[in-house]
Structure 1
């Protein structure tokens, strides 16, 4: 982590795993194997999301996230689908607009002409955003549900219901466009998988079955308020609300770290639910070992999420221990 973004609670330490405290034999072999897979996936994701000239999650505003959540709910799709769909849509937009900008620069060297072409191209892309988002949901449903996925006909019926007249061919072409733009690679694991895995890890220490519904709700809020969450977290590390684009780029690695975000969401859920037998500080310590993220940073981000949910700045985890 960049030292400028280390939280006050972790001002003199980096994320270090104490192997001696990682009690061998406590966790099942399958769990450890899958956790290793998530670590590898997270590392690869950190590299893949570093697209020059772009910032992560710029298109995933609260309005866009809420729209995807709403569509998935109306179509009775599993919870996992909406998080895979958001990842697909965000990746599509990053690569799509990068390609469009490169095309714009090739059209003319004149800055005025470039901006003129750029406005025309982006205006057309904005009109297609609804269909692209639904195509992302369609691809995600195929990945999660396979044979019971969202069909082209399902998409057309939904769009027609809301006054959007797309034929089956256009919907099919949109799906192909989104899929090809992301390199025909659907992210294997979403934030849903990370939070579920961490909950399973806590299950080896205490009964956390009743925590699952709470964690799902916290995960939803965290996605809807992602920008505000990381803005406040940035302030905790720098005592500044405003940051330059360069600082934003440096901070981006923290934002795309699913292990960090997932662990913090679970710890926040423990605090909110007030689980018997397991407090948030202990949960943070356990998840620190599993995620290789310092417990103080996990706690700090969890506090920010809890503050947003509770509407107060007086969250203190020690009260639940």
Structure 2
């Protein structure tokens, strides 16, 4: 592992500034008396790995294009105000990125079918309209995500109703009729062809931590989880900077050829690798002397090489150090 200083005590508290990381988070209940059987966990991980492999194969160069820092900050702010679950927050980010890419692509195809002299003017109108509707689309993604994660305890997190969505938008200076919110939610769903149930990185993280806890009863999985969510927040906020640094570290190059971009896109789409590395970074920050052991365990669980996990983990810790 790289020789980064281990953040402890006051330093770690100041980094996250929310609450003592050694307090057990409300969800999930790792290695609880009612925890899943090992065979079920294994089957669940295999299923996630298959989905991950499919997503890697279907990845495209523009994936993640709209995970810009201002968009991610807006979604995180909306998620907090709308009180949606942790998983719903990450799902909303993924939905927004996929929706906006497909939405803009569809609109661009529409403009190209117009007479040449109308294209520039029409495209400018569309750009303005898309910009003006960004917050509305963010709320729609939060609404959909909240419904898909409604298994969380009702007194903690709630499905985002039309009225709650309207109040949030009104507080932000926007007034929309209920019909407009319904139409926006339907637009997002149709644009994504109703394919909105893909697992997010937090699902991979939770599953792997549950397995880790079963394999190693001394692992601080609850603490790792809380730190991991903060690292995942940072990774989303620094998405493009992170993968730029990762490419430079792994390829020893600052520029990407077309072929390199294509290969590296598969790395960006690999959520199993991301989850393993986030857990490795969390372990490093909580118990530096246990980090190598935890990364080795992540490698055994995922069948991903330790070197790949370490490369990813090192860049993530570097981002923390720069904050």
The two structures have a TM-score, normalised by structure 2, of 0.81
Give the ranges of 4+ consecutive aligned residues of structure 1 lying more than 4 Å apart after TM superposition: none
Question: Are the counterparts in 2 of residues 87 and 187 from structure 1 also a CA contact under 8 Å?
Answer: no
Question: Are the counterparts in 1 of residues 148 and 197 from structure 2 also a CA contact under 8 Å?
Answer: no
Q: Which residue of 1 aligns with 2:85?
A: 78
**Runs of 5+ consecutive residues of structure 1 not aligned to the other structure:** 1-26, 313-321
Q: Which of 242, 258, 261 is the equivalent residue of 2:255?
A: 242
Q: Which residue of 2 aligns with 1:262?
A: 275
Q: Which residue of 2 aligns with 1:274?
A: 287
The two structures have a TM-score, normalised by structure 1, of 0.81
Q: Which residue of 2 aligns with 1:144?
A: 149
Q: Which of 158, 166, 169 is the equivalent residue of 2:168?
A: 158
Question: Are the counterparts in 2 of residues 88 and 187 from structure 1 also a CA contact under 8 Å?
Answer: no
CA–CA distance in structure 1, aligned partners of residues 166 and 57 of structure 2 = 36
Q: Which of 120, 123, 133 is the equivalent residue of 1:128?
A: 133
Cα shift readout 1:107-148 (whole Å, capped 9, x = no counterpart): 23x4x7544432322221111111011100000001111684
Q: Which of 257, 266, 269 is the equivalent residue of 1:253?
A: 266
Q: Which residue of 1 aligns with 2:302?
A: 291
Q: Which residue of 1 aligns with 2:318?
A: 307
CA–CA distance in structure 2, aligned partners of residues 69 and 107 of structure 1 = 37
Q: Which of 99, 105, 109 is the equivalent residue of 1:102?
A: 109
Cα shift readout 1:176-210 (whole Å, capped 9, x = no counterpart): 00011101121241111011112122211233232
**Runs of 5+ consecutive residues of structure 2 not aligned to the other structure:** 1-36
CA–CA distance in structure 1, aligned partners of residues 100 and 300 of structure 2 = 34
CA–CA distance in structure 1, aligned partners of residues 44 and 306 of structure 2 = 21
Offset of residue 49 of structure 1: 3.7
Aligned length: 279
Cα shift readout 1:1-38 (whole Å, capped 9, x = no counterpart): xxxxxxxxxxxxxxxxxxxxxxxxxx911110110110
Q: Which of 189, 209, 216 is the equivalent residue of 1:199?
A: 209
